[in-house]
């Protein structure tokens, strides 16, 4: 693993030299392409510029960052909302974090606005929280806007608007399911038959090591219990589902997701 990391560091140094040279020659497109590859490699292997410079870096401590309804700009709910939990899981696993649900009495949830928290290293948490807030706000707005568009279209065409029952619920379900599929597509999942020493295997090792640190911190500092995955109930509206999936196809995921979203159980904090 260390040999692979040194190999990647040397590759990043060469790419940085090429980017600098292209920039000096005024070839901005080429420099941008080199920089995009540099960022992809550094994120995949959790490298810092100090690694590339040869100075080394101190590993960031693990901690947690809460996410609240206030951060999303939405009214505080006293009950859990399944899609916010599913989204948290997808984002966390993509950014080396673990998403922990907050299981508290309704009056506590109402007073704090807590949805859950991301546990992980500071940089990873910062990115995860930012992406969570952006996507959660998008889901809330886009699902409602799509329902309004469909309702107006049905009214203009004289169609029965009762056919739109469950549209918004299935829009969200379709969006999240397609988002999960797209993340998996970008994660470069390694099969058990993948040859040892490959770049993909090395990336998976980096991911596993990072999440192992998070799991240890959670075990040492938090009292967690396992809960079933939230149920995105079917609203039986095929149109809403398909429109939601189409919306997820337009989301720019970038190059940051590195592992399959967990299909297991969620953890919750009492």
Read off the pLDDT of residues 227-243 as tens digits, 9 standing for 90 and up: 666 767 677 889 999 99
Q: How far apart are CA 117 and CA 95, in angstroms?
A: 13
pLDDT digits (tens, 9 = 90+) for 244-254: 999 999 887 75
Which band of pLDDT confidence, cut at 50, 70 and 90, is reported for residue 86? very high
| Nearest C-alpha neighbor of 172 from the set 98, 67, 115, 90 | 90
**pTM, whole model, 2 decimals?**
0.72
Query: Among 96-105, 136-145, 172-181, 244-253, which stretch is predicted with the lowest mean pLDDT?
Result: 96-105
pLDDT above 60 for 26: yes
Q: Does 39 share its domain with 148?
A: no
Could you tell me if 205 and 109 lie in one domain?
yes
SS3 state of residue 50? helix
* 50 and 63 inside one domain: no
Residue 120 sits in the same domain as residue 192: yes
134 shares its domain with 245 = yes
The answer to whether residue 270 scores a pLDDT higher than 50 is: no
Residue 198 DSSP code: -
By residue range, what is the domain housing residue 16?
1-58
CA angle in degrees (0–180, nearest 5) for 78-162-244: 60
Q: Are residues 84 and 43 in the same domain?
A: no
**Model confidence band, residue 264 (pLDDT cutoffs 50, 70, 90):** very low
Q: Taking all residues of the chain, what is their mean pLDDT, rounded to a whole number?
A: 77
> 3: pLDDT confidence band, cut at 50, 70 and 90?
low
Same domain for 121 and 15, yes or no, is: no
Among 33-47, 61-75, 114-128, 193-207, where is mean pLDDT lowest? 193-207
With a pLDDT cut of 90, the percent of the chain lying above it is 24
Contacts of 58 (CB under 8 A, 6+ apart): none
Banded model confidence at residue 114, pLDDT cuts 50, 70, 90 = confident
Quote the tokens at residue 192: 């058990």
Q: How far apart are the first and last CA of the chain?
A: 38
Report whether pLDDT(88) > 90: yes
Residue 247's pLDDT is 93
Token code pair at residue 106: 């309704």
Considering the domain architecture, whether residues 111 and 240 belong to the same structural domain is answered as yes
Question: In sequence order, what are the beta bridge partners of 2?
Answer: none
104 and 218 share one domain: yes
Same domain, 264 and 157: yes
**Percentage of residues of the chain with pLDDT beyond 70:** 73
Instruction: Report how far Cα 73 is from the mean position of its chain's Cα atoms.
Output: 19
Residues 122, 60 contacting (CB under 8 angstroms):
yes
pLDDT grade, residue 149 (50/70/90)? very high
* φ and ψ at residue 120, rounded to 5 degrees: 170, -175
Q: What pLDDT sits at residue 261?
A: 35
Are 159 and 44 members of one domain? no
pLDDT at 4: 64
Domain end, chosen from 58, 76, 93, is at: 58
The enclosing H or E element of 35 equals helix 28-44
Domain edge (last residue) among 16, 37, 58: 58
Of the residues 58, 89, 105, which one is the last residue of a structural domain? 58
Q: Quote the DSSP letter at residue 161.
A: G
Same domain as 113, residue 34: no
How many domains, in total, are found in the chain? Answer: 2
């Amino acid at each position: 693993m260390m040999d692979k990391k040194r190999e990647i560091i040397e590759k990043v140094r060469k790419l940085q030299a090429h980017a600098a040279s292209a920039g000096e020659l005024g070839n901005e497109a080429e420099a941008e392409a080199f920089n995009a590859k540099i960022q992809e490699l550094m994120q995949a292997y959790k490298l810092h510029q100090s690694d590339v410079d040869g100075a080394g870096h101190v590993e960031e401590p693990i901690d947690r960052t809460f996410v609240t309804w206030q951060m999303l700009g939405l009214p505080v709910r006293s009950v859990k909302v399944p899609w916010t939990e599913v989204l948290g899981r997808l984002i966390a696993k993509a950014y080396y974090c673990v998403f922990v649900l907050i299981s508290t009495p309704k009056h506590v949830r109402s007073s704090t606005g807590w949805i859950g928290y991301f546990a992980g290293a500071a940089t990873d948490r910062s990115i995860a929280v930012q992406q969570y807030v952006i996507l959660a706000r998008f889901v809330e707005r886009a699902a409602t806007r799509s329902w309004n568009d469909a309702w107006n279209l049905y009214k203009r065409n004289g169609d029965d608007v009762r056919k739109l029952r469950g549209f918004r619920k299935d829009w969200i379900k379709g969006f999240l399911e397609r988002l999960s599929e797209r993340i998996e597509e970008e994660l470069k999942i390694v099969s058990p038959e993948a040859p040892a020493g490959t770049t993909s295997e090395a990336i998976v090792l980096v991911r596993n090591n990072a999440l192992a640190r998070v799991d240890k911190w959670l075990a040492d500092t938090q009292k967690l219990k396992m809960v079933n995955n939230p149920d995105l109930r079917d609203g039986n509206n095929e149109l809403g589902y398909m429109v939601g999936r189409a919306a997820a196809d337009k989301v720019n995921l970038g190059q940051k997701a590195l592992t399959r979203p967990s299909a297991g159980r969620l953890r919750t904090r009492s």
